[in-house]
Amino acid sequence: NVQVEFPGRTRILTISNQKGGVGKTTTTVNIAAAIASLGGRVLVIDLDPQGNASTALGVPHNADTPSIYDVLIDGFPLSDVVQTSPESETLFCAPSNIHLAGAEIELVTQVAREQRLKTAIDDHVREQETPLDFILIDCPPSLGLLTINAFTAAEEVFLPIQCEYYALEGLSQLLGNVRMIQKHLNPQLHLSTILLTMYDARTKLSQQVADEVRSHFSAEALRTMIPRSVRISEAPSFGQTVIAYDGNSAGAIAYREAAVEIVRRGAAQGADSEEKES
């Protein structure tokens, strides 16, 4: 049984990669469930109109469900839409639903259109009697106003990389976007975490991509890699994360190990910045 400590500060990570199908949603829900299984309090914000994160967390998200759309467009407090996942009493989800598909366009004419998620999150964090340890934001694949809201609200960018040929191309594109957001909207934003996913030890290509990412990003890349696994891809159709669906599978074990690394790194970084302050 692994022991980790939660310093009582809310870390806000946006899971981003401008490519679709690289494992953003899978990583968001499984890291969230793994952190919850370690005793952390975790909120997943589903910012993708497809609602796959809400589905995987077993949270209803039909057209009548209060959703992150109501938060962004009508100014609802997050607490009005947050649900508890049936998987764990410390795992929460602000669901997306079909209305979010229109939000990208509706946001254009809103006041402070880039800051609306940040305002809602800051209010929600302040309201908590027991602090949330993590907020994980699952982004759509495009760089529209939804993703910009996530980049403005977060401190950390968490990049899942699929172990395939064009991975590094997506990475330089993402870093360019992060620099742009840093300059204009959120100076704190930085790439903190890279996770290699869908790793297949039998292919030379997987190995090469992993080596290359690690040589360029040794500080950001987690040591744990997520293997390609049928159990991981099956779990959402049961409305579950792989942590609940098959906790002893290789995929679940890898996601738990990655979660431990993320939690421990944050604790070390918190200690670093306290040292610098004193």
Number of residues forming the site for ligand ADP (CB under 6 A): 17
Task: Choose the binding region for ligand ADP from 22-30, 34-42, 150-158, 167-175 (rule: CB under 6 A).
Answer: 22-30
User: Would you count residue 140 as binding ligand ADP (CB under 6 A)?
Assistant: no
Q: Which residues pair with 177 in a beta bridge?
A: none
22 binds ligand ADP (CB under 6 A): yes
Q: At its nearest, how many Å lie between Mg ion and the CB of residue 38?
A: 24
Picked from ligand ADP, Mg ion, none, the partner binding residue 26 (CB below 5 to 8 A depending on kind) is ligand ADP
Residue 124 is a binding residue for Mg ion (CB under 5 A): no
Residue 23 binds which one of Mg ion, ligand ADP, none, with CB within 5 to 8 A depending on kind? Answer: ligand ADP
Element spanning 42, H or E? strand 42-46
- CA of residue 74 relative to chain centroid, distance: 24
DSSP 123-175: HHHHH-SSPPSEEEEE--SS-SHHHHHHHHH-SEEEEEEESSTTHHHHHHHHH
Residue 110 φ/ψ, nearest 5 degrees: -80, 150
CA 29 to chain centroid, in Å, comes to 8
Tokens representing residue 173 in the block: 């594109």
Sole window of 22-30, 31-39, 113-121, 264-272 interacting with Mg ion (rule: CB under 5 A): 22-30
Query: Site for Mg ion (CB under 5 A): which residue of 25, 65, 149, 206?
Result: 25
Residue from 33, 57, 181, 198 in contact with ligand ADP (CB under 6 A): 198
Which residues from 241-260 bind ligand ADP, rule CB under 6 A? 251
Q: Which residues, 6 or more positions from 141, have their beta carbon under 8 angstroms from its beta carbon?
A: 17, 18, 19, 20, 21, 24
Q: What is residue 87's three-state secondary structure? A: coil
- Considering only residues 38 to 77 of the shown chain, the ones binding ligand ADP according to CB under 6 A are 52
Which residues, including other chains, have CB under 8 Å from residue 66's CB and lie 6 or more apart? 76, 80, 81
> Is 25 one of the binding residues for ligand ADP (CB under 6 A)?
yes
> Is residue 135 within 8 Å of 40, Cβ to Cβ?
no
Which residue lies nearer to ligand ADP by CB, 107 or 198?
A: 198
Using CA atoms, how far residue 45 sits from 42, 51, 198, 263, in Å, is: 10, 10, 23, 19
Q: Which is nearer to ligand ADP, 39 or 141 (CB)?
A: 141
Strand 190-197 with 134-138, pairing:
unpaired
Residues 214-243 that bind ligand ADP (CB under 6 A): 226, 228-229, 232-233
Query: Which secondary structure element, helix H or strand E, spans residue 94, and what is its range?
Result: strand 91-94
Among 24, 61, 116, 124, binds ligand ADP (CB under 6 A): 24
H/E stretch holding 11 reads: strand 11-15
232 binds, among ligand ADP, Mg ion, none (CB under 5 to 8 A by kind): ligand ADP
197 touches ligand ADP by CB under 6 A: yes
Is residue 24 a contact point for Mg ion (CB under 5 A)?
yes
Is residue 26 close enough to count as binding ligand ADP by CB under 6 A?
Answer: yes
149 is written with which tokens? 């809201």
Binding residues (CB under 6 A) for ligand ADP: these are 20-26, 52, 141, 197-198, 226, 228-229, 232-233, 251
Binding site for Mg ion (CB under 5 A): 24-25
